[in-house]
Structure 1
Amino acid sequence: MSTRRDRAERNDRALLQAARDVLAEDGAHASVAAIAARAGVGIGSLYRRYKTKEELFQRLSLMSLDQWNEAAERGLADPDPWAGLAGFVRGCAEFGQGSLAPVAGTIEVTAEMSAKATRGDGLLGELVRRAHEAGVLRADVTAVDISLLIEQLGRSPVVDQLRKQGRDDLLPAAAGARRRLIAMALDGLRPGHGPLPGPPPGMELFTGRWANRA
């Protein structure tokens, strides 16, 4: 019984990772067949675990929200406001936050997803407030700016392309280049730079995208 349960858990983890990878490469048109093939399982196994592709993407969204909230909690636990914020941004970007953006508006946002997202907004708001009060974050940067920055940094075309090509020889170098870009972006959040252009973005950039328009 334990072996069967362990195998099912391994298959589920493989499916979720495969779904993330295929989404990063193919966007909202990612097919169930491609996800199952990437995970090394049959389509029947996928549908036994998730009745629909939407259900799979909802599970993936919950996993992503949990990671976001856990990273924010770790950041708030750091007594250094800058280290806490920077660690949050770095952790979310390296996890690949933003890879689910292609499914925005194509799946129903469940009550659980909404509750976790609301909690994440509050945690990030506190990280930003604390960094502003400490004078370590430029005054014109908002929580929405941080969220959009993470979405940009969480998707690496060069990493995705090399992974799709099976170029394991180049993946470490690509990951290192990505870490450098994250460090450059984090440096841009520090005070001492010129003003940012235009008004700060609003939350409608997120809430509007996730409204199901089917």
Structure 2
Amino acid sequence: MSRRRAPRQAEAERNDRALLRAAREVLAADGAHASVAAIAARAGVGIGTLYRRYRTKEELFQRLAELALDSWNEAAEKGLAEDDPWEGLTSFVIACVESGQGSLAPLAGTIDITEEMRAKNERSDELLAALVERAHAAGVLRPDVTPVDIALLIEQLGRFPVLDQLRAQGRDDLVDLAVAARRRVIAVVLDGLRPCHTQPLPGDPPSDQLFTERWARHSAR
């Protein structure tokens, strides 16, 4: 029995990875209204396979959010393990941008927040605050930059329109050029975080409310 189950389990795991990857890609292109049929087609599986793993589209999206938080927290922990506070912060930002953290923004306000998501999000807030505090203490981050600024920056850079468009067009011949261009843009933005810039940032620091209110389910308001 175990020998027969092993191939089935391996196939189920492959299908799950394909579904999660497809869901992220379709979500980036179509937003929270992405259809189950489109996700299954992108993954190369039948709708029945999707529903055997996830009872609803919301459950699939909740799983995506949990995995994104895991990725965020892992990147933050690696950043805090860096001896250099600047390298720790910037390596965290780069890792989050390149993993496409901003691609899940369309889910805000469309799914219920599970207890697991809530706990992982609280941990992510703690880790980001520690990265920023350490960089401030070392004098390598401009003093008016807040954790919310960093989170918003990651969200904005996480979606790179030219790269998304080329991938949607199947222009694999240009994807590497777009990836290289994004790295340059990231470097330009990160340089703006350095304390050598004397012009203060405009307006008041953004509030956590930008995230807490946005992720509250629309029907609850």
TM-score range, shorter chain: over 0.9
- State how far apart, in whole Å, the 1-side matches of 2:164 and 2:26 are: 9
1:15 corresponds to which residue?
Answer: 19
Superposed counterparts of 1:89-104, under 5 Å:
89-104=93-108
How far apart in 1 are the matches of 2:164 and 2:193?
Answer: 26
Asked whether the 8 Å contact 1:137–1:189 carries over to 2, the reply is yes
Task: State the match for 2:211 in structure 1.
Answer: 206
Work out whether 1:51 is the aligned partner of 2:55.
Answer: yes
Report the TM-score, using the length of structure 1 for normalisation: 0.99
Is the 1:15–1:39 contact (alpha carbons within 8 Å) kept by the matching residues of 2? yes
Cα distance in 2 for partners of 1:160, 1:26 equals 12
1:98 and 1:181 mapped to 2: Cα distance?
15
In structure 1, runs of 5+ residues without a counterpart are none
Q: Choose from 136, 152, 160 the match for 2:156.
A: 152
Equivalent runs, 1:133-148 vs 2, <5 Å: 133-148=137-152
Q: What SS class does the counterpart of residue 173 from structure 2 fall into?
A: coil
Q: Can you list the C-alpha shifts for 1:88-122, whole angstroms capped at 9, x where unaligned?
A: 00000000011111111110000110000000000
Partner AA of 1:126 in structure 2: A
Cross-structure match for 2:110? 106
Tell me by how many angstroms 1:2 deviates: 1.3
- TM-score normalized by structure 2? 0.96
- Give the secondary structure class of the aligned counterpart of 2:103: coil
2:36 to 10, 32, 37: 32
Structure 1 counterpart SS, 2:116 = helix
Distance in 2 separating the partners of 1:6 and 1:188: 46
Q: Percent identity, aligned pairs only?
A: 71
* Cα distance in structure 2, aligned partners of 1:173 and 1:32: 32
Superposition map of 1:46-195 within 5 A: 46-193=50-197, 194-195=199-200
What is the number of equivalent residue pairs in this alignment? 214
What is the one-letter code of the residue matched to 2:141? L
Q: CA separation in 1, counterparts of 2:179 and 2:12?
A: 30
Instruction: Output the CA distance in 2 between the equivalents of 1:164 and 1:37.
Output: 14
Give the AA of the match of 2:134: R
Counterpart Cα distance in 2 of 1:153 and 1:67: 16
Show structure 2 runs of 5+ residues with no match.
Answer: none
Per-residue deviation, 1:28: 1.2
In the aligned structure 2, how far is the partner of 1:105 from the partner of 1:3?
Answer: 38
Q: Is the Cα contact below 8 Å between 1:21 and 1:160 reproduced in 2?
A: no
Letter in 2 for 1:162: L
Q: Say which is worse superposed, 87-96 or 177-186, in terms of deviation.
A: 177-186
Map Cα deviations across residues 148-182 of structure 1 (whole Å, 9 max, x no partner): 00000101111111111111111111111111111
Q: Which moved more, 1:166-175 or 1:83-92?
A: 166-175
Larger Rg: 2
- Distance in 2 separating the partners of 1:175 and 1:95: 12
The 1-side partners of 2:51 and 2:37 are apart by: 11
Distance in 2 of aligned mates of 1:26 and 1:158: 16
Instruction: Specify the alignment match of 1:196 in structure 2.
Output: 201
